[in-house]
Structure 1
Amino acid sequence: MEDIDFASLLCSRLCHDLLSPVGALNNGLELLADETDPQMRERCMDLLADSAKATANKLKFFRLAFGSAGGYGAEIDTGEARAALQGLFGEEKRIELGWMVAEPKLPKEAVKLLLNLGMIAGDALVRGGRLDVGAEQGAGGMELVIRAEGPRLILDPNIRAMLADGGALSTVEPRTAAAYMANRLATEGGGSIQISGGNDEHLVVGVLLPA
């Protein structure tokens, strides 16, 4: 039952995040059906194009971050991961992404962990800012680091707690599902997630996965 329950929570999270762009698509189609003015129809088409792109970007991200990433094998091209995270936040021009991952490929689990942590840290930048994502592989293992900086940073205490200790599945909610998944990926990889203390402008999240 645990896997079914967690899958349901992830589905709830996905539906919540996709509701806005899909709703905008529906609104655009309704406006287009009733509009006769050429300029307004052009604006409706722009709205539809933007909403379709946002939906596609979110689905691409969710496939890599939450799904099995079928077709990628045991390792994933880090360029794909960068494009997925850029697509999630980049279109709004609200968050500047700094990508500091030199490896051309990383293990699938490490990429999923990196994306989930990146999404959580990016969501905490409620007024925008900069999100730096780094990964370095050495003899001792792989180190993942996420740094978020902005004028207003809010990390939900429940998400922070879920990242730090995982908690029980019975305590997971749709909004903390990604944090639960990140904790599971880290612990199953032999590591643990470290989070910087409370600060309304900076957040650093790190994971060391042993070799």
Structure 2
Amino acid sequence: MPVTPVDFASLLCSRLCHDLLSPVGALNNGLELLADETDPAMRQRCLDLLNESARTSANKLKFFRLAFGAAGGFGEQIDARECRGAIEGLLSGGRKVELGWLVEAEALPKPAAKVLLNLAMIAGDALVRGGKLDIGGEENGGTVEIVVRAEGPRVILDPDIRRTLTEGEGSEGVTPRVAAAFLVHTLAGGVQVSEPGENVLLFGAALGA
């Protein structure tokens, strides 16, 4: 079933609101606790939680602006250092994920940068118990080739996300859960995905430079 730009915008907004609900909700809860708390040690604990939630919210917003929005300016390229910083921020909270950055280019075409960012997010989400996330990208003969590899104690890729990356939609069509995968498929025209395995997940995509 074709997805209109308005439909996709709605799906993407739903996905972003879902991802931001937890850290923003934690901010609200922390403020409520802080208002009623008089013990100095507990107040400091509340402040620490507020700082952590605020940092997580800011990191997610920074990532989403690059991955889905018009961040990076209105030129044709995005600074690769911005992409790396956004991914590091996204990975900084919760699970322990080590980032291996193998992109030598100083800048990437915007479509390639968005594919790289979204594949990194999907692979990072698949590392349910942490692990290593390696991201590579290079231009070869007018084509930008992107490789993302996730390895950890347990790697789980949602079957609908897998299907959307390779075919363009999941078993229920395009839903907020697969919005990032749909964007990747739209920009890259399909993604190579390794067969399901317990410890390793590999993505490959190629776009015109």
Task: Tell me which residue corresponds to 1:164.
Answer: 166
- Calculate the TM-score normalised by the size of structure 2: 0.94
Which residue among 193, 197, 200 is the counterpart of 1:199?
A: 197
- What runs of 5+ residues in structure 2 fail to find an aligned partner? none
The residue type paired with residue 191 of structure 2 is I
Task: Tell me which residue corresponds to 1:61.
Answer: 63
| Cα deviation digits, residues 106-157 of structure 1 (max 9, x gap) | 1111100000001011101111111101001122521100000011111011
Q: CA deviation at 1:93?
A: 5.3
The farther-off stretch of 70-79 and 124-133 is 70-79
Hey, what's the Cα distance between the residues in 1 that align with 2:8 and 2:121?
18
Hey, what's the Cα distance between the residues in 2 that align with 1:177 and 1:18?
15
Hey, what's the Cα distance between the residues in 2 that align with 1:118 and 1:3?
24
The residue type paired with residue 44 of structure 1 is C
Task: Tell me which residue corresponds to 1:208.
Answer: 206
Hey, what's the Cα distance between the residues in 2 that align with 1:140 and 1:62?
27
The farther-off stretch of 72-81 and 7-16 is 72-81
Task: Tell me which residue corresponds to 1:28.
Answer: 30
Q: CA deviation at 1:70?
A: 5.7
Q: CA deviation at 1:73?
A: 1.8
Hey, what's the Cα distance between the residues in 2 that align with 1:27 and 1:21?
10
The residue type paired with residue 201 of structure 1 is N
Which residue among 8, 11, 14 is the counterpart of 1:9?
A: 11
Determine if contact 1:90/1:97 at 8 Å carries over to the other structure.
no
The residue type paired with residue 176 of structure 2 is P
- Aligned 1:43-62 pairs, distance under 5 A: 43-62=45-64
* 3-state SS, counterpart of residue 92 of structure 2: helix
Hey, what's the Cα distance between the residues in 2 that align with 1:124 and 1:91?
15
The farther-off stretch of 88-97 and 27-36 is 88-97
Q: CA RMSD in A?
A: 1.5
- Aligned 1:106-121 pairs, distance under 5 A: 106-121=108-123
The residue type paired with residue 154 of structure 1 is I
Determine if contact 1:65/1:115 at 8 Å carries over to the other structure.
yes
Hey, what's the Cα distance between the residues in 2 that align with 1:151 and 1:112?
27
Determine if contact 1:90/1:96 at 8 Å carries over to the other structure.
no
The residue type paired with residue 131 of structure 2 is G
Using the aligned pairs only, state the percent identity: 61
* 3-state SS, counterpart of residue 133 of structure 2: strand
Runs of 4+ in 1 over 6 A off after TM superposition: none
| Corresponding residue pairs, total | 206
- What runs of 5+ residues in structure 1 fail to find an aligned partner? none
